[in-house]
Amino acid sequence: MNNFKQKKISSVQLEEGQKIPLTIKRLGINGEGIGYFKHKIVFVTGALPNEVVVAKVTKVLPKYATAEIHRIRRTSSDRVSPRDVYQVGGIELEHLAYPQQLNFKRDLVKQALEKYRPQGFKKYQILSTVGMKNPYFYRNKAQFQVREKGGKIIAGLYRRGTHEVVDLPDFSTQGLLTMKVVRQVCHLIEKLGIPAYNEKNNSGIIKTLIVRESFSTCQVQLTIVTNSAKLIHQTALIQEIHQTLPEVVSIFQNINPGRQSLVWGEKTKILFGQEKITEQLGTKKYNLSVRAFFQLNPQQTAKMYQIVADALALKPTDHLLDAYCGVGTIGIFLADQVNSVRGMDTIPEAINDAKENASINNCSNTEYVCGTAEDVLTLWLHQGFHPDAAIVDPPRVGLDQRLLEALLQSKPQRLVYISCNPSTLARDLVKLARIYQINYLLPVDMFPQTPRAEVVVKLTLK
């Protein structure tokens, strides 16, 4: 049967530019509509479940095809008019009514569990996604490419699937202050005649503007990424920024020469002002250096940390492990509730920030070490440290397998797994479910208008 089905799929003749009728069955993990043309799966950008569309094929591959909407024959009742009409990332679901975005993110968790099938997964409690009252203007950081177009300096994101920069005079998921700074700095670059980067010729100077704002203090940190160490009219640019944008309290230059896929180069130097800005979550303050990771949605972050606190049900005698601690945000947020907090991260600047943040919040019961979570935890276990409770907040690739084994060895009574990737979460739960009861999974919408979701999982030792 499978061979017959495979032959039917491979015999389907599709060509780029071909227009085909499709009924959209569901959304894929990247927010695209999924339909089937003669048993071949087709991913349609911008299409919604239950819609009937005429789709224009954009790419044909052996196992699937991609397409864009040519015409909608039957429109979903969940379709709304998006605020933004740009063909860029970060707003993939803006055409879907917000309550349905929340349902979709809960369903992503369910799909991942069904794929990896950890022990007892059919009985797991998947709670409703925690959303935002106003799911716009939530991002505290922008990384916009800078180019020249028609004699004007523009800044924005790449058009989907290309290296063409789309100018973003406004962008409804970004903080308003962030966008104000981006637009004004572009104006000043144009006014002073500083050449923008030309990717085709690998020429010009200014490649990217990275702007981070503090929602609590309204301070702004600006990083200008350049193609060379020389930044012409540097003094005039700094003076103009200082005069017209008093919110910008620190300006950095990052040097990233050539056609690099990474935004950041290795060398960063301060050009003006203070080295860090201050953000606040609850009663805790955090100083953020220019390269330090901090959650992009402070409003939802505060909610999520309270959810973590409730899940851990911490006691004054507890020793808390904070793996992948970053600048110490969550460990410091919880430090008053426990005997001690130990955290680790691989970025030296982040660990320095974590130590400083512990100091400014008078947290004398914290310890932060630079190193991989798996190496540091293994060492601590050999030294006799045994956490009563633990938080793991890994990158999208999920838990390092050695860390997973170290967790299974140390067996903290209560564990919270914060995941930004339901797929790797479900994979890791296969091992964790052997010794832990999965109490519940709670999606938190940290990135409205996108298909991305965070998931907080409460685990208790069996």
Q: Which amino acid is at 401?
A: Q
CB 126 within 8 A of CB 440: yes
Neighbour count for residue 62 (Cβ, 10 Å): 8
Cα atoms found within 13 Å of the Cα of residue 194, Cβ hemisphere only: 25
Question: Sheet containing 267-273: which strands, arranged edge to edge?
Answer: 165-167, 152-158, 141-149, 206-213, 220-226, 248-255, 267-273
3-class SS of residue 442: strand
**Measured CA distances, 323 to 90, 146, 189, 375 (Å):** 28, 36, 41, 11
**Could you write out the DSSP letters of every residue in 11-49?**
H----TT-EEEEE--EE-TTS-EEEEETTEEEEEET--T
Respond yes or no: is residue 420 known to be catalytic: yes
Catalytic residue (one of 186, 218, 370, 420): 420
Give me the phi and psi of 448, to 5 degrees please. -55, 150
Question: In sequence order, what E strands does 159-275 have?
Answer: 165-167, 206-213, 220-226, 248-255, 267-273
And the tokens for 322?
A: 């904070």
d(CA 68, CA 60): 12
End-to-end CA distance of the chain: 42
And the tokens for 432?
A: 């964790």
d(CA 90, CA 69): 19
Please give the distance of CA 352 from its chain centroid, rounded to a whole number: 23
* Residue 313 Rama label (left phi>0; alpha psi -120 to 50; beta): left
Of 162, 163, 165, nearest in space to 186 by CA: 165
Integer Rg of the chain from CA: 24
d(CA 421, CA 261): 22
Strands 277-281 and 284-288: antiparallel
Of 199, 202, 200, 212, nearest in space to 145 by CA: 199
Residues annotated as catalytic (active site), given as ranges = 420
